[in-house]
Structure 1
Amino acid sequence: MISQTEPLKTKKRHVICMASDFFYPNTGGVEEHIYNLSQCLIKRGHKVIVITHCYDDRVGVRYLTAGLKVYYLPIRVFYHQCALPTMICNIAIVRYILIRECVEIVHGHSAFSVLAHEVSMIGKLMGLKTVFTDHSLFGFADMSAVLTNKYLQLCLCECDACICVSHTGKENTVLRAKVRAHKVSVIPNAVDAYTFTPDPSQRDPNVVTIVIISRLVYRKGVDLMAAVIADMCPRYSNIRFIIGGDGPKMWLLQEVRERKGFQHCVTLLGSLKHSEVRNVLVKGDIFLNTSLTEAYCMAIVEAASCGLKVVSTKVGGIPEVLPESMIYLTEPNVTSIVAGIESAMKDLKNGNILCPYQCNKMVRKMYNWMDITRRTEIVYNRILLNKNKVLGQQLRSYLNCGVWPFLLVISLMYLLLQLIERLYKRKHIDIARDFKL
């Protein structure tokens, strides 16, 4: 097996299709990962396209920076920014795109993304290589986790390679999706440290400003967040909270702010554009993350790059992300989080902190997109050596997952592909591409 740090001996140009329900203009960690990875792959000479579903004002083909071509398919959102898992309704258009763009590798992102799994399975039936990046952690006990894990097992049983963003995420994916460990690589996310630069002049020296930037959902620990605010604001007159982000749990923070009379020390900014995040971070002294589960937290890396002291719950892959000198790890309970914030405040008062610009240099060295891209290229080069399986062997792999009816779905997908091949032959698509019809 090729090592993740081994330099490439030969450089081959790949044609890659990034597939996910999560992409711009929607914002989030997965969207940013796909965009930045695509840009770096293009810089290194590869061709990259993106397949996602349409948004309210965006459907059809769009071109982004560096000529990144994005197909916004006419598919409506069904639930939480994801399309309906029909498995067969989008076969014709996906096949057309993959042939027209001469795609060699299909790279799906996010276990929640239905479109990523569908495009990957269609690509595999067409003889293409497939890669999947898992950005999240899942449990094993509740019914939703059981169903999600079984669906993920079905979708990944024929995947050529998987990528996880942390070693904890790798263990989680191997257990819940029953993927062979040797097929899973660990490649973390990265941050543009040249964008997230420190600016100590923006801080208020008379107060301790705690910044929180997060989606306000249950798994981000909004309940803990509210309890910490209710505990600390009455005891520290010089503390200020700046909270950026939106979500279904916003009402809880609004209730704490209004009922407790914390309007003077709690500022709710609502939803932020990614370009606005840095200008909020540089106003803070401490960054607080209260996540209950996290495979890899981009927010704490961005905050560290801006020179903030980070206080975070010790869950998932977070302990792997930053060195001890840059983060205070706490248990996911109010007492431990408050103690972590108080330790950070004490160090700030005593001047026992790293220089913000030194923090930026450390993050720049640890996490940069070109390094992540080179490591991803190694995965691409490795899977191109894999031999394609015939339909019978693929069906045998799906059969081992224990869901026999799914064999009928895969068989139907294969038959539809063969029918479409007769109706719309590949040579006609090649002609259309050559003449840009």
Structure 2
Amino acid sequence: MNRIIYILAILCLFGCAKEEAIPVIADFEFEVFNDDFSIPVQVVFFNRTKGGEDYEWTFEGGVPSRSVNRNPGVIQYDAKGVYTIELTATNQDGSQGTKTLEIQIDDPVIVDFEITNLVDNFSPASYTIQNNSSGADSFSWTFEGGIPATSTNQNPGEIVFAEPGDHVIRLEISNGRETYDLQKTITVAPFLISDFEYQIAFDDDDFQIPARVQFQNNSISATSYQWNFEGAGTSTSTEENPKITFTKEGIQTISLTAFNGKETKTISKQIEFFKNTNLRELNDIKFGINTAHTGNTRGSFYTIAKRILFTANEITPGVEQDIDLVFFGLSNTFSRNRFVSPDQLSGTTFDELQSPKNTIFINSQELCNCPASLTPTQFDTMRDDTLLDNLVITETPGGLQDFDNTMVPRIVLFQTKEGKKGAIKIKSFVDEGQDSYILVDIKVQKE
């Protein structure tokens, strides 16, 4: 009996005990991708709730806007604003917990600016800057070498750069949470310099008038030019690189003034021009014997206009018609030598030319039996073409005879197809085997 009473007492004790519910503590955290709060913003949520079994998420302004998953994944925000996130968690005991947070979504932060040059980039150069940035509320400008050097205005106005060279302009913007920066470089042109050089025309390189001169403008940071020429047919020019003919002998002054709207600089140089002697002087020309010419070591074919000796492999159709003088030396003994007309090569070892010129020669004045005569002394003292102009140069069988190396110096007279008269002074016969040559000076009329 007592045992039955004990068991009933125990059952009554446990049956009368009240069940205790499990509490719910709602909690969550979130992380913004790349810590970037500028739209579009992606946020991942982490559920830290304790005691919960079912969940209800609401995301104001988010996509999606609702979730019943424990961890809702990634939520995206596409518009600026302050939005509420709410999590309500429950369990089977009927317990419930709620947590709300606010998240601030910002407009995208874009840093950009545009630089405009005022007038030109010559020092001192002025620039204005248009701020095209967005999503920011603070601005910090730095202007390397500029006046002013810094600014916190959204649009800093006019900036002046006095020193030539590259200058960095940097803008840093912020919305209070994120900071972005951008830099650009402007180039201020060097200080104005006026300078030039000149090149005399090939045919006028003895600086005898009339002389044609090509001027090369080397000015820096200039936009316009004013030239002044003494002793020229054209006294002034505004061209950048003028070509001028000088007609007066003596020392002539050339001035160039360069402008760029802010500065003016002038430079002057002098060129000396000489009286026209109508005499071209060509010195130390080495005419090779026939083996030197055909072996392409020393040329035997000469053009007066270009002042060039050509070897056999250099004779092209474009060259053939320009040849004035041909020297034929039989060997390095110099026992038989003569200058021959370009159209009379059949008696030499040279190939005949196409469309050749005709040049009249007097190789041996002593055998010529003609009135034309010029001594080595007269050659050396010749300062103009008077002596040449008075010569009557005609070909005779005796004048065309070969000569040897027994007479040094020797004067050979000639007249070109164009009627220019000239003299060749053979100064020496140089024995270098198959590369042997004669060393000569030439004086010939220009016109």
TM-score by length of 2: 0.19
Name the structure with the higher strand share: 2
Higher helix share: 1
TM-score scaled by length of structure 1: 0.19
**Larger Rg, first or second structure (1 or 2):** 2
